[in-house]
Amino acid sequence: MGPVLDPAIPLPGVAAGALTGLVSATYPALRAARLEPVDALRAGT
């Protein structure tokens, strides 16, 4: 019989990856939401 992987083993890694993605996407989005569109286009950001 081959190795058996418990489905609960990869869950912490998946959760950590999802949390990292959420945090790293939220900060720039909140920062960009505070900018006026004209100022953002003028600055090229």
Q: What is the pLDDT of residues 1-45, one digit of tens each?
A: 677 888 888 899 999 999 999 999 999 999 989 988 888 788 765
CA-to-CA distance for 10 and 18, rounded, in angstroms? 12
- Looking at residue 39, its pLDDT comes to 82
pTM here is 0.59
CB-based burial, 17-32: b 16+ in 10 Å, e otherwise: eeeeeeeeeeeeeeee
- Looking at residue 26, its pLDDT comes to 96
The count of C-alpha atoms lying within 13 angstroms of the C-alpha of 13, restricted to the half-sphere facing its C-beta, is: 4
